[in-house]
Amino acid sequence: MERTYVITGAASGIGKATKELLEARGARVIGADIAGSDVNVDLTTLQGRQTLVSEVERLSDGRIDAVLAVAGLSSPTVATAAVNYFGAVATLEGLRPLLAKSDSPRAVAVTSMASLMPHDDALLDAFLDGNEEAALARAAELAAGSPEQGNLIYGSSKQALSRWVRRQAPTADWAGANIPVNAVAPGVVLTPMTASLTGTEEARTQLAGMVPMPLNGFFGPESVAQLLAWLSSEENGHLCGQVIFIDGGSDAVIRGDSTW
Amino acid sequence: MERTYVITGAASGIGKATKELLEARGARVIGADIAGSDVNVDLTTLQGRQTLVSEVERLSDGRIDAVLAVAGLSSPTVATAAVNYFGAVATLEGLRPLLAKSDSPRAVAVTSMASLMPHDDALLDAFLDGNEEAALARAAELAAGSPEQGNLIYGSSKQALSRWVRRQAPTADWAGANIPVNAVAPGVVLTPMTASLTGTEEARTQLAGMVPMPLNGFFGPESVAQLLAWLSSEENGHLCGQVIFIDGGSDAVIRGDSTW
């Protein structure tokens, strides 16, 4: 039977590549983005998150087979904190009742190798507590501070989302309902989001110093799409809470064999 | 072009299921096992490891596309230490020159969620030092000790192999040669190896206490085969040193969000 997928961030980058791949393989994909997709909503707002769920319910006739929470920003802004963590969690939790109607439901979040980068303790704690008001207030402080402070927003949001997947996946809501939930953590992927970081030789050299990728270097979003397609396919019935780095080795270089 | 795969442990369990899956998909598979396969060798011995390489070289005409080091034992014996670590490493390193002839080479090792279980420090250190003489001597001491001591051999061997993958994947030998090397770490998979642990209700209950698998419980080797097939396919060009737990959530339950 044809599978129905929901992909946020579907208008560009990894989300777009994944939508195109799944459609080419015969799946039905409901895309969501702030503009230019099937469902156009702003995931920084409660209203946008609620509209996502109601529109997906309407367009899918109440049953979906997979959710891919791809939408994310990398700018040093409050919006990044809102979308990357609270928008992603709202996507996964809000669509879970529709997933539960599937015979082979799957959920995947896109985090980042930046989850290994420095973070802000107060922001991270607010994310993990699910306290959006406190998180956005702290993000606003960081955004108003030095560039280094602003840059902590992205890594903190991605670490929090990775850890949300770890904590939630084995619970009654997910594993107990036979829904695998996992994450992919990309290294540097050549998308509109990273274009400013990879646009010049100098920028690329600086970035490669922060994100060592000895295996095949920077790469295109199609490779992430293929991993997302596998994780959200019927073939994956037993991965639970895995955060898979698709990063050319930056995780292995940075953490070595302290983590396995 | 048809891909050529080498699978050790191909005569039973995960190795057999993977061989059958890949062959059904049109691949050429050279199986190896102690008996009943295309290449019949004892990977506890230097002679067996050398014969594996020379026979694969002969049967493949000198080029292979993927190596899946699946062969392993779970008994509290010296042979388990020899096969699970040194046999697997010899398989991967010995066949690397043939892999390097491929346009899309891939290598995958099968470790275990037992890599998270208690280990023996002396045995683990000997593995990580690549000191087979010391490792086998220590394994012999453990095998002659209490059942608890004997049981440390398996987890130690699997932790060592997981960490070998983490250390080696980003190096010049692997990432530098454009060869992704990764690992899968299964939970309880229903194979001949685990039959004695899952044969009675009492044994299953005890095992489930040690290996919590909230997502869909114990499962068959076909699911691991599907993950191995993806990791060794052309689609996976950017995962480097990942240890993916296919374990129904035991890793996420045991380590929680301390690891991501």
Predicted local distance difference test score (pLDDT) of residue A196: 87
**A26 vs A28: CA distance, rounded Å:** 7
CA distance B35 to chain A (A): 30
Helix (H, G, I), strand (E, B) or coil at A175: helix
pLDDT bracket for residue B18 (50, 70, 90): very high
* Active-site hit among A5, A86, A154, A245: A154
Backbone angles phi, psi at B82, to 5 degrees: -70, -45
Predicted local distance difference test score (pLDDT) of residue B196: 87
**A248 vs B90: CA distance, rounded Å:** 24
The mean per-residue pLDDT over the stretch B73-94 comes to 98
Strand order in the sheet with B39-40: B39-40, B28-33, B4-8, B66-69, B106-110, B181-186, B243-246
Q: Residue B166 and residue A241: Cβ atoms within 8 Å?
A: no
Tell whether A253 lies on the interface with B, counting CB pairs under 8 A.
Answer: yes
Nearest one of A17, A88, A26 to A246, comparing CA atoms: A17
**Annotated catalytic residue A85:** no
Nearest one of A37, A5, A33, A2 to A18, comparing CA atoms: A5
b/e per residue B139-162 (b: at least 16 CB within 10 A): beebbeeeeeebbbbbbbbbbbbb
Partnered with residue B107 across adjacent β-strands are B67, B181
Tokens (6 digits) for A189:
């992927």
**Mutating which of A110, A236, A239 best tests the B interface, going by the most B Cβ atoms within 10 A?**
A239
Nearest to A215 among B175, B216, B247 (CB): B175
Identity of the amino acid at B150 = G
Tokens (6 digits) for B43:
């990977």
Size of interface A-B (CB pairs under 8 A): 159
Partnered with residue B67 across adjacent β-strands are B6, B107
Count of beta carbons in the 10 Å neighbourhood of residue B1: 7
**Mutating which of A215, A230, A244 best tests the B interface, going by the most B Cβ atoms within 10 A?**
A215
CA distance B38 to chain A (A): 28
Q: pLDDT above 70 covers what percent of chain B? A: 100
Residue with tokens 């608890």: B148
User: Using one digit for the tens of pLDDT, what is the confidence trace for A31-87?
Assistant: 999 999 999 999 999 999 999 999 999 999 999 999 999 999 999 999 999 999 999
CATH topology for B4-187+216-247 is Rossmann fold (3.40.50)
Q: Which of residues 180-239 of A touch B (CB under 8 A)?
A: 180, 183, 185, 187, 212-216, 219, 223, 226-227, 230, 235-239
Backbone angles phi, psi at B249, to 5 degrees: 110, 5
Domain A4-115+154-246 has CATH 3.40.718.10: no
**B116 vs B189: CA distance, rounded Å:** 16
Tokens (6 digits) for A179:
């829904």
Tokens (6 digits) for B90:
């010899």
**A179 vs B101: CA distance, rounded Å:** 40
Tell whether A169 lies on the interface with B, counting CB pairs under 8 A.
Answer: yes
In tens digits, what is the pLDDT along chain A, a chain of 260 residues?
A: 699 999 999 999 999 999 999 999 999 999 999 999 999 999 999 999 999 999 999 999 999 999 999 999 999 999 999 999 999 999 999 999 999 999 999 999 999 999 999 999 999 999 999 999 999 999 999 999 999 999 999 999 999 999 999 999 999 999 999 999 999 999 999 999 899 889 999 999 999 999 999 999 999 999 999 999 999 999 999 999 999 999 999 999 999 999 99
Count of beta carbons in the 10 Å neighbourhood of residue B55: 17
**B116 vs B186: CA distance, rounded Å:** 11
| pLDDT over threshold 90, residue B156 | yes
**B158 vs B185: CA distance, rounded Å:** 9
Q: Which residues of A touch B211 (CB under 8 A)?
A: none
| CA within 13 Å, CB half, B60 | 30
CA-angle at A24, arms to A22 and A28, nearest 5° = 50
CA distance B150 to chain A (A): 23
**A13 vs A193: CA distance, rounded Å:** 7
**A69 vs A87: CA distance, rounded Å:** 9
DSSP code per residue over A47-60: HHHHHHHHHHHHHH
The angle, 0 to 180 degrees and rounded to 10, between the axes of the packed helices B132-143 and B121-128 is 160
Contact indicator for A79, A34 with CB cutoff of 8 Å: no
Q: Residue B162 and residue A253: Cβ atoms within 8 Å?
A: no
Backbone angles phi, psi at A6, to 5 degrees: -115, 130
Tokens (6 digits) for A8:
């946020």
The mean per-residue pLDDT over the stretch B59-78 comes to 97
Burial class of residue B36, CB neighbours in 10 A (0-12, 13-18, 19+):
exposed
Residue A26, sorted as left (phi over 0), alpha (psi -120 to 50) or beta, turns out to be: left
Count of beta carbons in the 10 Å neighbourhood of residue B195: 11
**A225 vs A231: CA distance, rounded Å:** 10
- Distance of alpha carbon B189 from the chain centroid: 13
The mean per-residue pLDDT over the stretch B160-182 comes to 98
Q: Which of residues 5-34 of A touch B (CB under 8 A)?
A: none
Contact indicator for B139, B81 with CB cutoff of 8 Å: yes
| pLDDT over threshold 90, residue B1 | no
Count of beta carbons in the 10 Å neighbourhood of residue A120: 20
Identity of the amino acid at B81 = A
CA distance A149 to chain B (A): 23
Radius of gyration of chain A (CA): 17
Contact indicator for A98, A63 with CB cutoff of 8 Å: yes
Count of beta carbons in the 10 Å neighbourhood of residue A21: 18
Q: Residue A251 and residue B238: Cβ atoms within 8 Å?
A: no
Tokens (6 digits) for A75:
């700018």
